[in-house]
């Protein structure tokens, strides 16, 4: 009997391929995208606290600001053709998109092969963190600038309320910024100021340095002034679960704070450094004005912010943010990957921010003199 030769064929399972066809890495790229977005959303808090608009087919977006009008008594026989003073006055605020903001990394194929952990997912999260940090810093700087500004409405005969600056504590000491009783008093003062300026109570929030936030948490059970929306371990989360005078409190390392971002240990603050902080904790405020490449809005310089800003309280109308390109991820593939034996992983976005309604912005400060407008 003749022996029949047979050929054994093995079918390779491409676990990164969608529906057994197309790009063998398609599902991997989507996984990476998800990691980048989670990294961004986990760290960015300002995006949902202000007025955000998506920009299409243009470089800037116009926000209309309408001032107040008044009520008049009607004179019998007179035609009703609008108020005699022509109210309400209208002004505009134009926010321009800054240049493309990117964060990228090159991943070598051999490194991925030798690595015992998911290299791309780890890098993706760090890219998301970097974009979120810059995103929040620009918006918080815009809010601080608005708190020092007059109303955009400047029509003759109309005086609209501008921003508010409130000193924390009664002394000129930096340590007042960390006093829970002084902070609570400043919150009620800020709430009253916004009420007096006709700012809606809906969407009011505050962003503080983490140590300020934890000082408030420690005083929750004793001062009777802080309302709790959560109990137990949830109270420690730091995600806006404390409310003072109807103002939800968040913590962030990205607010302008005593001449730095997030924290300051030197001087008279009375705070103990955790040690071995590297260059991440408490970096100095960098210059971020139109003189810096890629910036098309005025976010102020380090010298204009000074070293006394100690927190922000605002309502969502305080600032606006325009996005031409939301957070996205791009990865090289195909011939490019073959030539370089690796992939460039890129996270990107295009946004711009500025203050809209100064009356809805409050800057907390310490020291004897309020910071100047710019």
The residue among 191, 164, 153, 195 whose CA lies nearest residue 69 is 153
Structure-block tokens of residue 320 = 């606006």
Give the model's confidence band at 227: pLDDT under 50 very low, under 70 low, under 90 confident, else very high: low
Q: Are strands 256-257 and 60-66 parallel, antiparallel or unpaired?
A: unpaired
Phi, psi of 288, rounded to the nearest 5 degrees: -140, 60
Residue 180: CA count within 13 A, CB half-sphere: 18
Task: Indicate the DSSP class of residue 292.
Answer: S
**Which two tokens mark 226?**
């802080």
pLDDT digits (tens, 9 = 90+) for 119-167: 778 888 888 899 999 999 999 999 999 999 998 887 777 788 999 999 9
pLDDT at 39: 79
Q: Distance of alpha carbon 223 from its chain centroid, rounded?
A: 30
| Domain 26-65+88-365, CATH class in plain words | alpha beta
Neighbours of 65 (CB within 10 A): 19
Interval 107-116: pLDDT, tens: 888 877 766 6
pLDDT at 32 over 70: no
What is the spatial distance between Cα 144 and Cα 300, in angstroms, rounded to a whole number?
Answer: 10
What CA–CA distances, in Å, run from 50 to 41, 56, 316, 360?
15, 19, 4, 11
Give the DSSP H/E element, type plus range, for residue 137: helix 119-147
- C-alpha dihedral, 216 to 219 to 220 to 221, nearest 10°: 170
Q: Is the pLDDT of residue 48 over 70?
A: yes
pLDDT (tens digit, 9 = 90+) per residue, 255-274? 999 999 988 776 556 777 78
Q: Which residues contact 222 (CB under 8 A, 6 or more apart)?
A: none
Q: What is the pTM of this model?
A: 0.84
How high is the pLDDT of residue 56? 85
């Amino acid at each position: 009997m003749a022996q029949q030769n047979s050929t054994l064929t093995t079918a390779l399972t491409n676990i990164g391929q969608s529906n057994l066809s197309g790009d063998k890495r398609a599902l991997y790229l989507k996984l990476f995208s998800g990691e980048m977005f989670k990294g961004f959303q986990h760290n960015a808090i300002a995006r949902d606290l202000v007025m955000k608009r998506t920009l299409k087919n243009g470089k800037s977006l116009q926000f209309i600001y309408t001032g107040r009008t008044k009520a008049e008594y009607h004179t019998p026989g007179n035609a009703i053709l609008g108020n005699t003073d022509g109210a309400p006055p209208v002004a505009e605020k134009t926010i321009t998109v800054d240049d493309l903001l990117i964060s990228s990394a090159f991943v070598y194929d051999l490194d991925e092969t030798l690595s015992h952990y998911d290299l791309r997912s780890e890098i993706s999260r760090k890219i998301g963190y970097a974009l979120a940090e810059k995103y929040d810093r620009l918006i918080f700087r815009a809010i601080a600038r608005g708190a020092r500004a007059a109303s955009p409405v400047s029509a003759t005969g109309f005086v609209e309320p501008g921003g508010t600056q409130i000193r924390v504590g009664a002394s000129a000491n930096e340590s007042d910024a960390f006093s829970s009783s002084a902070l609570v008093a400043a919150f009620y003062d800020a709430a009253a100021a916004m009420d007096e300026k006709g700012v809606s109570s809906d969407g009011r929030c505050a962003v503080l340095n983490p140590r300020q936030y934890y000082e408030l948490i420690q005083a929750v059970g004793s001062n009777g002034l802080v309302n709790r929306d959560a109990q137990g371990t949830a109270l420690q989360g730091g995600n806006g679960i404390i409310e003072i005078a109807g103002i939800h409190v968040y913590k962030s390392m990205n607010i302008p704070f005593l001449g730095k971002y997030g924290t300051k240990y030197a001087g008279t603050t009375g705070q103990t450094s955790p040690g071995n902080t590297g260059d991440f904790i408490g970096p100095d405020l960098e210059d971020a004005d139109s003189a810096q490449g890629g910036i098309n809005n005025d976010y102020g310089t380090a010298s204009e912010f000074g070293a006394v800003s100690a927190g922000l309280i605002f309502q969502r109308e305080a600032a606006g943010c325009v996005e031409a390109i939301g957070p996205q991820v791009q990865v090289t593939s195909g011939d490019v990957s073959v030539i370089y034996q690796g992939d460039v992983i890129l996270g990107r976005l295009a946004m711009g921010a500025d203050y809209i309604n100064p009356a809805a912005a409050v800057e907390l400060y310490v020291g004897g003199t309020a910071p100047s407008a710019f």
